[in-house]
Amino acid sequence: MGKCKNHPEVETSYCCMKHNYYLCEQCIACNDPEIYCKFRSSCAIYFLEKEARRKKEQKAGS
C-alpha cells in the first residue's frame, strides 16, 4: 500500500511499477499509454483504465 501521488491523504494499492508511484481509484490513468511498458501485462492501473474506457464506450454506443 502507498499514498496516491495526487492525494497524499489517500491510501491505495494501485502502483505504477514503471514510474514507481501510487494512484487512487479517482486518479487511475496510465502516464504514457502510447509507449511500450514491460509491466503493462500485470499493471492494474492500465487494466482498470482500459475497463473504464470500455464501459464508457458501451454507454455511448447504446
Q: Which chain residues interact with Zn ion by CB under 5 A?
A: 4, 6-7, 24, 26-27
Q: Which is nearer to Zn ion, 20 or 38 (CB)?
A: 20
CB-based burial, 30-49: b 16+ in 10 Å, e otherwise: beeeeeebeeeeebebbebb
Q: How far apart are CA 28 and CA 60, in angstroms?
A: 21
Tell me the closest approach of the beta carbon of residue 54 to Zn ion, in angstroms.
Answer: 22
Tell me the closest approach of the beta carbon of residue 29 to Zn ion, in angstroms.
Answer: 10
Tell me the closest approach of the beta carbon of residue 47 to Zn ion, in angstroms.
Answer: 17
